[in-house]
Amino acid sequence: MTKVLGLFGFGEVARGFYQTLQTNSHLDVRIKSVCIKNREKLRDLDPAVFTTEASELLNDPEIDIIVELTDDAEASYEIVKTALTAGKGVISANKKMIAEHIDEVATWHEQFEAPFLYEAAVAGSIPILHNLEQFFKQQEISSIRAILNGSTNYILSKMREEGLSFEDALQLAQDKGFAESDPTLDISGKDALYKLIILTYHAFGDIITDLQQVRLEAITNMEDHFYEMAKSQGLKIKSIATATRKNGKTSIKVQPELINSNDDLFEIEYENNAIVIDASYSGKQTFIGKGAGSLPTGSAVINDLSLLLSGFKYKKHPRKSILKSA
């Protein structure tokens, strides 16, 4: 039976999702309506499919699944909670909303029968949450070390490889759709921090809400001569997100780091993301993929949709030690 979707937002990620959906012959779904803020903006879809009334989607009994791809964290929270309460499955890419409400999100996985998936909120095209929920479920993870912001990584690559100024590299990232018109979350490190909070919950079962205890440093704090010095010595400056668990305690940080060619993240350039997971049995594994852009992020939404249709859902359960004591 065809599942009916309601889509919130029609920006970069939503258009990528829509485009990938049109070329996918395996999913028996259709989009009934798209809720947007501005009806007057020109879009390459039949105007009849758009509405500015969220209630038209949330209260429509024909709509089975809500795909929430807005950039408004407050609106996202209301949309997601209302849809779950109504029994509709939900997919979201709003990392700010999820991270800021991670304690409540954790209860939603238990409270609601309908699934709430959000792979696209973390690392673009990299299916890291699915791997944490499946492959790594039978292992203990000691650390996560990652490049989680494609916009920042793109800027740093352009500055280093082409000698661009920070302002010119940022403008280029915006022109290509890798950075938002307001890039504050990206360049401040907060975007990566939100993603790291989500990863920390799924990897360790820890809920981090006190951001005052987190070390957060922006790439804008680095002076130009630091980049020149690093390049002259064969080193690179990368904005790296780290979560470590030791003696039952988890610590997280996001900051620029000076790394050499032996580092797992040394060759990760431009809009690519990479996540290094160090686990008890498999050791270190590195996941690499595009972390920004319409189609790469849209592909994560498509994968969530496929998983949701198959009955997959996240579960609320702190990860407890699964290793037997000696």
Residue 149 has phi, psi (to 5 degrees) of -120, 105
- Measured between its terminal Cα atoms, the distance across the chain in Å is 52
Residue 63 tokens read as 């709509």
C-alpha closest to that of 257 among 212, 222, 213:
222
Distance, in Å, from the CA atom of 162 to the CA atom of 160, rounded to the nearest integer, reads: 6
Question: How big is the CA angle at 152 (ends 147 and 154), to the nearest 5 degrees?
Answer: 95
Residue 41 has phi, psi (to 5 degrees) of -70, 135
Distance, in Å, from the CA atom of 274 to the CA atom of 264, rounded to the nearest integer, reads: 9
Catalytic residue of the set 195, 236, 238, 290: 195
Residue with tokens 């997280």, as numbered in its chain: 252
37 labelled catalytic: no
The three-state secondary structure class of 136 is helix
Q: Kindly give, in sequence order, each residue whose CB lies less than 8 Å from that of residue 22, ignoring residues fewer than 6 positions away.
A: none
- Give catalytic residue positions: 195
